Structure 1
Amino acid sequence: MKKVAIILADGFEEIEAVSVMDILRRAGIEALGVGLQNLEVNGAHNIQIKADLILDDIKVDEFVAIVLPGGLPGAKYLANSQKLGEILREFNLKNLKIAAICAAPWALSTANVLKNSYTCYPGFEKNIDHSGYEDNKNVVIDQNIITSKGPATAMEFALNLVKEICSYEKYMEIKKDLLFVD
C-alpha cells in the first residue's frame, strides 16, 4: 500500500488536513498524520488530532508523498522547521510528490524545493520568497510539486493527489463517489 505523510503542526488548518487524509484513504492510500513535534496536535480552530507518528520517525523511503496543510501559525512552524526542510529536500531529490496548501508553500520556499510555478492562499505569496505565483488556478502541479489555495480547494487538491499518486481512473472513481463537480 502506498503511504503518504501529512505533517501536522500546532495551528494547522483542519479542513485541509482531514479532507486530504480522508480522500487519500478512500483511494486506498495509507495517509498517516505526522506530528511536527508531538503526537497530539491542536488545529487552528481548536480541533485536536492524534497523529500516527512524529516527524523524527519518518523514513522517506517508506513514503510516496508528503503533504503540508496550511493554517496559521502551523505554516510558520513548518517553514521554520530545519528537520522538515531536510526531509522536503530528500523527497525532492528522490522526485517524490511534495504537496502544500494555503500558507504551507512557505515551507517549500524555505526548503528551496519550489520549481517554477505554485499557488497559495491569495495574498500570502508576499510571504513566499519565490516568483511564479499563479492566482488563476486552485491547484498548480509543477513536476513533483503540488500546491493549492486554501480550505475551499482542499477536495480538489486531494483529488489531484489521488490522480498523481494512483491513477486517473482512481481519481475519477473517488471524484464520482464524492459527488465532486468542477
Structure 2
Amino acid sequence: MAVLDRALHHLARASGAASAAALAAIGLVIAAQIVARLAGRQIPAADDFAAWAMAASAFLALPYAMRHGDHIRVTLVLQFLPKRWERGYELLASAIGTLLAGWAAWHTLQFVYDSWQYEEVAQGLLRVPLWIPQLSMALGLLLLALMLAERLWCGLRGQPLSDAGVETARTE
C-alpha cells in the first residue's frame, strides 16, 4: 500500500506543479499581450490561452489541495454531532465526494473524447483542437476522485481521517 500512497503523493505534487505552471502561463500571456498592445500589435488567441490556463490551474489544483487538506470544508455539522458519529459522518462525506468526483471525471472524460473524436477546434484565430485544453479538466477531476477514494479507503481501514497535514504526516 505504501507504493500506491507514494504514487498518489507524486501525482498530487505533479498536478499542483502543473497548476502553478498554468498560473504562471496566465501571467506571461497577459504580460505579453500588454507589451504587444503598447507596440500596436496583438497576440492571436491570447484571451483563449489565458482562459484555458485559468481552467487548467483550477482543475489541476484540486488533487493537490485534497492531498494537503486545503479544500474548504463545512464543519458546522460536525460541531453539533455527537463525537461517536463523527467518523461515520466523515466516511459518508468521503464516499459522497468520491462518487461525485468520479461521476464528474467520467462525464468530463467522455466530453474530451467526443471533442477528440469529432475533431472540434477552437473558433478563434488559432485552430487549436479543443480536447487539448479540456484534458486538464478531466485529469484534475480524475485525480481528485483518486485522492478521495484513497481517503475513504484509509478511513474504512481504521486509519485517521484528519486532512490537516496529511502530506507531512505521510512523508515523515
Q: TM-score, normalised by structure 1?
A: 0.23
Q: Which structure exhibits the higher relative contact order, with contacts defined as CA atoms closer than 8 Å and separated by 6 or more residues?
A: 2
Structure richer in helix, relative to its length = 2
Larger strand proportion of the pair: 1
Query: Which structure has the larger Rg?
Result: 2
TM score, norm. by length of structure 2: 0.24
